Structure 1
Amino acid sequence: MITIKSISIVVPSEPTPNGPLQLSESDQIMPWTHPTFIYIYRSNNNIPLSFETMNNSLSRALAHFYPLAGRLKWIEGGRLQVDCNAIGVQVLEAHSDLKLDELGDFAPTGTVEDLVPKIDYTTPIEEWPLLRVQLTRFVCGGLSVGVAISHTLVDGLSTTNFINSWAKLARGDNLDDHEIPFLDRTVLRSKQVEGLKKRANQEMGVTIRPYTRYEAISGHIWRCACKVRAIDNSHDQQTRVRLVVDARKRLKPPLPQRYFGNAIFGTVTSTCLYGDLLSNPLSYSVGKLREAIERMTDEYIRSAIDFITSQKHVGGLRSSFHIQGYTQGPFLGNPNLSLTSWINLPIYDADFGWGKPVYVGPGSLNMDGKAFLMSSVAVDGSLIIALRLQAQYMDSFKKIFYEDID
């Protein structure tokens, strides 16, 4: 059981720029809801970590990342801007009567979802905090940091940079130093990761840029999902995968290293058939994913931005993939998947003084077919996959997933 002990407002530690902040066109099509993240820490009795320390360091971080202390505001054309008013972020101090070990592998279900703060979307958008943090202590002395952060303002990389900067300040470092779907989590050992990558590239048979870990594993997930979702061997079922591509280095010139905003764009594979994916080798599905990723060139991205800019009203373009706070997320249909990679994000660098977190992951997975690919805390090349499928498919998926690797 989670008990909220207090709710406080943390404001920047020093005066910050005031007034409206215009968001980019790529920000405008992002969900106005809040994706959630969770960081789990085990107790370090040698270094007590107080909520006061956490709040003070957060206040100092907000002096640099000051837009997060503001509020969203609707403007003409269904667009949003940030009112940099330094109202502050909400911090919840909570207590759990559980031990960390009772949370299992921290897959975001039930009690784990209660470790991340909720946003009341029934209130006007001008009242929503762009950032809400929940600090939860466990009876074993462990701590979780749950974060809900506005997707309209930042993407996954920006969020990670903010959390890591906050953690540096907590340690005293200098910031300037550089049907109800069922949810589960599975682990790929480094040997299995490299095996899939090697297999996809050996099957490729041509000398082009080798497939990445992300592409090989995503292709494998896609094929396994098709196998377990097929009804009466219906191999003519159509299926597609939605992927997220980081445009920072794809733009010419590339965006600055410290760009703080949304620089991700969604891309979708061509429509494929179950039968084609299953009768062809792994390299076939991986190749379809590669085609979708390589479509995101500088020219394509700039064309997309120009199209958004040309729209009098962007409401119809805004994505709604994060529905935190609603009773049920969008259902994309059994054939399809949405795969997101956190493999290269420095998510385990968030050391608040207790050492690195033992787990970092999404606070919720809100739809059937949604998956995150993440590096593990072991830093040994192994990966974690958080996946949500309907209950009737999950056991078969896990069985096939490993059989097709080994």
Structure 2
Amino acid sequence: MALPPGKPEVISREMVRPSTATPDRHRIHHLSFFDQLFPSIYVPLLYFYLNHETRNSIAADVVRDNKTRVLKLSLSEALSTYYPLAGRMGDDDPLTVHCNDEGALFLQARTNSELHAALNHPDAGVRDEFRKLLFPDDLCYKSTSCSRPLAVQVTSFECGGIALGICVSHKFLDMFSFCSFISYWAAIAAASSLGHSNIKLHPLEFTLATLYPPFDLPPPVNKTVVKKPRKDVRYVVNRFVFGASSIAKLKAIVGIGRVENPTRVELVLALLCSCAISAASSSKGRGVVLIQAVNLRRRMMSPPPPARSVGNLSSVFAMSIADDMVEDLALFVSMLRRAKTGYFSSCAAESVGINRFLDFIMKTVKEYRDASKEEEAAAAKVYPCSSWCGFPLYEADFGWGKPVWVTAADFDEATDMVLLDTRDGHGIEAVVSLEEHEMAALLRDQKLLAFARINPVVDPVIIR
């Protein structure tokens, strides 16, 4: 597939190190039990920003250079606080991070494309291929073993707009911690643009390993929550966007009496999963399991973690999907709510003792591992899902306004679903990866097409 003119070209690459050296007392960072369970893959997000300053070509060059300089200097300062992101995993101990200030990878790229032309190209496939080039070194969802925990690519467009591709290791941060880091980095950059020097930051805690020490588990533990890519299967990724009006219609269909105030995520996830299952002829006669990632920070945990804890405080729960749920959306939403409520109730009950709580979490992770093994043996079909809705992704203002669009990278190596907020905060964008023949059937499903737009362009009125 031919790319549009203006393929991004990397013009510089360097390591950005913390602006101040990490003190000796922080040189070793221990990973927690939850860090231990999460995979060594990058979580990739892409932020698009408009140029609100000038359209003059010479002045636009100055604007681009200034933005890159501000991003680089502010990242250096942010890494002084988030120092593990500038370190490296220990070769001898996979649960230890050497905070040696080696730094984060920082790439600068340029394209002679206009931002609106790149995002609104009439061919969705071309748009997708172009977006992949906006991430550093094709690191999306790749292993971070023996690599850097953080990589950034800043791509400048002809119009002065920029794309900020960020890949951070899931071994270090969950989405809460990721957003905290981005917010801090953005605050430093914005203050620099305004000529301010002091940034108020609530004290961070890098002490989760003390509260939740790692278990003695046989290696490689990080494979317990990641599905192995199948080389014999081609996967296809599409974006499904559900606007606020579509979600309101789904809510009306589910009915007020059957599920009390269903959430956007419950409605969209139930519809997507039911349609994906219907599209998968290979799932006939096999068990079907939904695996959903969950945020534990707001749940009852004893002792409670510090509010500003950095690291992973997330887990997963498994839910078996019966045939009648696929045909009845209200039933699917009801069972999803029941499974989620039951999981969190168990978390609260087991959190009275740290060992009981961690044993319970290990049990849920084992359910995921067992389901994945059954899928490899063709005995089950597994649908993993992560929801990043509700996180302040669109609040990242580096001094030139909030992003016009935030999206995830395409993950075309396994079945996967990632849900994000739309820009207005009321809709949901779902990035879905399925086997090629399943995706083809899904794109013909009128039940889904009645509510979702497939690979829509970003609002041209907004980005012109």
Q: Which runs of 5+ in 1 are unaligned?
A: 320-329
How far apart, CA to CA, are the structure 2 residues paired with 1:317 and 1:4? 43
Residue in structure 2 matched with residue 298 of structure 1 by the alignment: 348
2:439 matches 1:388: no
Aligned-residue offset at 1:186: 2.0
How far apart, CA to CA, are the structure 2 residues paired with 1:21 and 1:201? 50
How far apart, CA to CA, are the structure 2 residues paired with 1:203 and 1:376? 28
User: Secondary structure of 2:136's partner?
Assistant: coil
C-alpha contact 1:332 1:368 (8 A) present in aligned 2: no
2:246 matches 1:192: yes
Residue in structure 2 matched with residue 84 of structure 1 by the alignment: 99
Residue in structure 1 matched with residue 116 of structure 2 by the alignment: 101
User: Secondary structure of 1:215's partner?
Assistant: helix
Residue in structure 2 matched with residue 267 of structure 1 by the alignment: 317
2:319 matches 1:251: no
- The alpha-carbon distance between structure 1 residues 120 and 151, as it changes in their structure 2 partners (threshold 3 A), is closer
C-alpha contact 2:410 2:431 (8 A) present in aligned 1: no
Output the amino acid matched with 2:273. W
Please, which of 359, 364, 386 is the counterpart of residue 340 of structure 1? 386
How far apart, CA to CA, are the structure 1 residues paired with 2:44 and 2:350? 29
Aligned-residue offset at 1:368: 3.9
Output the amino acid matched with 1:200. V
Output the amino acid matched with 2:432. L
User: Secondary structure of 1:204's partner?
Assistant: coil
How far apart, CA to CA, are the structure 1 residues paired with 2:144 and 2:267? 43
Residue in structure 2 matched with residue 38 of structure 1 by the alignment: 46
- The alpha-carbon distance between structure 1 residues 367 and 300, as it changes in their structure 2 partners (threshold 3 A), is farther
- The alpha-carbon distance between structure 1 residues 243 and 29, as it changes in their structure 2 partners (threshold 3 A), is same
2:429 matches 1:370: no
Instruction: State the identity %.
Output: 27
- Higher helix fraction (1 or 2): 2
Please, which of 23, 26, 35 is the counterpart of residue 31 of structure 2? 23
How far apart, CA to CA, are the structure 2 residues paired with 1:124 and 1:278? 37
C-alpha contact 2:104 2:150 (8 A) present in aligned 1: yes
Aligned-residue offset at 1:300: 4.8
Residue in structure 1 matched with residue 396 of structure 2 by the alignment: 350
Q: Which moved more, 1:151-160 or 1:381-390?
A: 381-390
Aligned-residue offset at 1:5: 0.8
Residue in structure 1 matched with residue 217 of structure 2 by the alignment: none
C-alpha contact 1:203 1:282 (8 A) present in aligned 2: no
Q: String of CA shifts for 1:109-155, please: whole Å, max 9, x gaps.
A: 322112111359999945x2111111111223221111111111101
Q: String of CA shifts for 1:288-328, please: whole Å, max 9, x gaps.
A: 32233231423457546247899xxx9x9998xxxxxxxxx
2:234 matches 1:217: no
Output the amino acid matched with 1:185. R
Aligned-residue offset at 1:333: 9.5
Aligned-residue offset at 1:246: 0.3
Please, which of 5, 8, 30 is the counterpart of residue 2 of structure 1? 8
How far apart, CA to CA, are the structure 1 residues paired with 2:451 and 2:143? 48
Residue in structure 2 matched with residue 51 of structure 1 by the alignment: 68
Q: String of CA shifts for 1:190-225, please: whole Å, max 9, x gaps.
A: 1211232343353626xxx54322112111111111
- The alpha-carbon distance between structure 1 residues 121 and 6, as it changes in their structure 2 partners (threshold 3 A), is same
Q: TM-score normalised to the size of structure 2?
A: 0.73
Output the amino acid matched with 2:149. L
C-alpha contact 2:42 2:144 (8 A) present in aligned 1: no
Residue in structure 2 matched with residue 14 of structure 1 by the alignment: 20
Aligned-residue offset at 1:285: 1.4
C-alpha contact 1:339 1:371 (8 A) present in aligned 2: yes
Aligned-residue offset at 1:355: 0.8
Alpha-carbon RMSD: 3.4
Q: Which runs of 5+ in 2 are unaligned?
A: 1-6, 55-59, 203-232, 370-375, 453-464
How far apart, CA to CA, are the structure 2 residues paired with 1:150 and 1:213? 28
C-alpha contact 1:109 1:183 (8 A) present in aligned 2: no
Counterpart mapping for 1:98-177 below 5 A: 98-104=113-119, 109-118=128-137, 119=139, 125-126=145-146, 128-172=147-191, 174-176=198-200
Residue in structure 2 matched with residue 70 of structure 1 by the alignment: 87
How far apart, CA to CA, are the structure 1 residues paired with 2:397 and 2:378? 37
